[in-house]
Amino acid sequence: MRQVTFLQAVSQQSLICIMVLLFLIQVQTIRADQPELKVTEVVRGLDSPWSLAELPDGQILVTERSGALKRVHNGQVQNIEGVPAVYFAGQGGLLDIKLHPQYPENGWVYLSYAYGNRSENALRVMRGKIKNNTLVEQQILFTAAPFKDTPVHYAGRIAFMPDNTFLLSIGDGFDYRESAQKKDSLLGKIIRLNDDGSIPSDNPYIADSGTRGELFSIGHRNPQGLIYDKKRDLVFSNEHGPAGGDEINIIKPGKNYGWPVITYGRDYSGASITPFTEYPGMEQPLVDWTPSIAPSSMVIYYGDMFPEFDGDLLSTTLKTREVRWVQMQGRKPGKQTSLLNNLDERLRHIEIAKDGSLYLLTDSGKLLNISR
Amino acid sequence: MRRRKTKAVLAFIAAAVTTFLLASINHTLFVLHELAELGIAISTSIRMQAISGDMAGLLPGYGAVISLGLLLAFTFLKFISKKLVNQPNPQWYWWGLAGGFTLFSALMLMQPLLNITLIAGARSDFGFAMQCLSGVCGGVIYGMLRPQTPIAGEKEL
C-alpha cells in the first residue's frame, strides 16, 4: 500500500485549491467580459426613428423617417420646424443626422433623406442650423445621381473624417444592383465630399475619365453603418446583404467591395445573385453574417462606462433584434456576442453618449439609454 | 374518363415544368448577362452550374407560384370558354395566352409587395417579356397535350 506523506497531502490539497481558484477567476473573467446592462427608457412614441445626435448640452436630436426632426430633453419631445420635405415611402424618408465636427463653433447640422417621388427619387444631403427651434440657413449639398424608381436601399449614413470631409453611403436601389460596379453612377457607393458639398481634389477616382469624382469606394449594396475609427485611423462599414451575406468591411479609398459580383448571400427569390464569392480585384468582407442578422447601425466603442467594449464594434440589428458585439484584436474581428436580445426589439440605431453610455433607437419608437 | 383525367394531369405537369424551366433559365441568363456586361468572365461550366443552382433555388417559391397560377388560369379559361362561348376545347393559342397572362399577373402582383422586382431576371422589359413568353410556351404545351372534352351529342353527328 502506497504511503502518502503529510507534505504530499498538503501539496495535493494546494493543487486542488489552486485549480478551483483559477476556475473561479476564469468564471469571473467571463462575467466581466459581459457587463450588466441597465436599460432606461428615455422616451417612447417616436414615429419610426432612424438616427440621433447628442448636442453639447446633452439634448438629443432624433430623425423620424416620416420627415420630422425631434428634440428630446428631460423626457420631453419638441418638434424642430422647417425640415425639408422628404419622400416618405418604403425605406425612404428622413434618415441620418450628424453634427459638424466643429458644431459648437459653426452650428451646422447635416441631414440625409430620400428626395423626390415614386418614379424619380434619390438620396440627398443638406445642412442647416437650428435657431429658435427652426432649421435655418439650409443648404442642399448633394443629390445622388441617377434618380431611381424604387423606394428602397438608400443607405444614407454620414461619417465625418478628421479633415472635415464626410463620407456618405449610398444604396444600390435594389433593382439597380449592377450600378454598384459602374463608376459613372453613384448608386451602391460610398462617396466623399467636403463639408460644403464640393468634391475633394484628392478623392481616389478624381482623375479617371467617365468616373464620378465623388466616389470613395464601390461595390456596396445597402451600407447602414459607417464610422471613422479615430484610434485605428480606419473607416468601418456594415451593410445588408440579401438573404445572407451581411458584412462588416474596412473601407479604403479606391477599393471595390464586390457587390453584386461577389456575395455570400442569395436573392430573396431563392436564386443566386452571382456564381462568385471571390473575384480578382474585389475585397473580401472583414465579417460575413450568413444567415443574415440585418445590421442597421454601428459604433466603435471608446468611452469610460464600458471598458469591456473598448475599441470593439457594436452593431444594432433588425432581424435578430440585438446589439451584436464584435470584439476586435487590432484590425481583426474575434469573438461575437449577442447583447440585449431580451428586449425583443428591432434596433435601428446606436450612438455613444458623452458619458460613455449608449443610446438605442427601436423601430417601435423608443429611445433607450444603456448604462451599467 | 379516368384516362382522360390522367392525361389532363400529365399535360398540366408538362406545362408547369416547361414554364418553370424556361422562366428559371431565362432568369439566370439575364442575371449572368448583366454581370458579363460589367466585364466579369463567366465560363460555360459556371453558367451551367448557375442555371441548375437557380432551378433548385427558385423551385419552392417561384415554382409554386407558377404552378398555382397556371392551374387558376387554365381552370378559368376552361370555365369561360364552356359557359360563355359554349366551346369546351379552346384552340392551343388560347392556352398559350392564358400561360403568358399567368406569368404577367404573377410578376405584376409581386411588384407591390416591396415595390421591387423579386425576380431579378424580369427587371428589364426584355427580361419581363421573356418570363411571360415562358408562360406562353407552357400554355401552348398544355393546349396541345390536353385531352379534348367530348361535346354533347358529338357521337351522334
pLDDT reported for residue B156 = 40
Q: Hey, which bits of A44-81 come out as E strands?
A: 49-54, 60-64, 69-73, 76-80
Q: Is the residue at A323 inside a domain? A: yes
Q: Is the residue at A4 inside a domain? A: no
More confident residue, B88 or A30: B88
A chain contacts of residue B47, beta-carbon cutoff 8 Å: 275
If you average pLDDT over every residue of chain A, what do you get? 93
Closest by CA to A114, choosing from A62, A168, A68, A152, is A152
pLDDT reported for residue A23 = 47
Q: Is the residue at A149 inside a domain? A: yes
**50-89 in A: which are within 8 Å (CB) of B?**
89
| Interface predicted TM-score (ipTM) over 0.85 | yes
The domain tally of chain A equals: 1
pLDDT reported for residue A12 = 59
Distance CA A358, CA A39 (A): 10
Q: What is the pLDDT of residues A77-100, one digit of tens each?
A: 999 999 999 999 999 999 999 999
Q: Does A275 touch chain B (CB under 8 A)?
A: yes
Give the chain B residue nearest A148 (alpha carbons): B116
Strands A222-229, A358-362: pairing is unpaired
Query: CATH no. for residue A222?
Result: 2.120.10.30
User: Distance, in angstroms, between A192 CA and closest chain B CA?
Assistant: 24
Q: Say whether pLDDT at A175 is over 80.
A: yes
Distance CA A247, CA A288 (A): 5
Distance CA A45, CA A33 (A): 33
Q: Which residues touch A268 (CB under 8 Å, ≥6 apart)?
A: A242, A243, B118
Strand order in the sheet with A234-240: A222-229, A234-240, A246-251, A287-289
Distance CA A70, CA A40 (A): 19
Strand order in the sheet with A323-329: A295-300, A313-317, A323-329, A332-339
User: Which structural domain range is residue A109 located in?
Assistant: 34-371
Q: Say whether pLDDT at A25 is over 50.
A: no
What are phi and psi for residue A236, nearest 5 degrees?
-110, 145
Q: Say whether pLDDT at A355 is over 90.
A: yes
Q: Say whether pLDDT at A33 is over 80.
A: no
Please give the span between the terminal C-alpha atoms of chain A, in angstroms, as a whole number: 58
Return the DSSP state at A262. B
Report CB contact under 8 Å: B31, A181: no
Q: What is the pLDDT of residues B112-156, one digit of tens each?
A: 887 899 999 999 999 999 999 999 999 999 999 999 877 665 544
Q: Is the residue at A21 inside a domain? A: no
Q: What is the pLDDT of residues A117-158, one digit of tens each?
A: 999 999 999 999 999 999 999 999 999 999 999 999 999 999
Give SS3 for A29: helix
pLDDT reported for residue B2 = 80
Strands A323-329, A332-339: pairing is antiparallel
Q: Say whether pLDDT at A30 is over 70.
A: no
Its pTM stands at: 0.91
A chain contacts of residue B34, beta-carbon cutoff 8 Å: 178
A chain contacts of residue B115, beta-carbon cutoff 8 Å: 89-90, 150-152
Closest by CA to A273, choosing from A261, A282, A283, is A261
Name the residue facing B120 among A90, A267, A275 (closest C-beta): A267
How many other C-beta atoms can be found within 10 angstroms of the C-beta atom of residue A159?
21
Q: Does A238 touch chain B (CB under 8 A)?
A: no
In this structure, what C-alpha cell is assigned to residue A242? Answer: 440579401
pLDDT interval class at A300 (50, 70, 90): very high
Q: Say whether pLDDT at A17 is over 80.
A: no
Give SS3 for A246: strand
Sign of the CA dihedral running A163, A166, A169, A170: negative
Helix/strand/coil (H, E, C) string of chain B?
CHHHHHHHHHHHHHHHHHHHHHHHHHHHHHHHHHHHHCCCCCCHHHHHHHHHHHHHHHHHHHHHHHHHHHHHHHHHHHHHHHHCCCCCCCCHHHHHHHHHHHHHHHHHHHHHHHCCCCCHHHCCHHHHHHHHHHHHHHHHHHHHHCCCCCCCCCCCC
pLDDT reported for residue A13 = 58
Please give the span between the terminal C-alpha atoms of chain B, in angstroms, as a whole number: 21
Matching residue, cell 454581370: B35
User: Distance, in angstroms, between B68 CA and closest chain A CA?
Assistant: 17
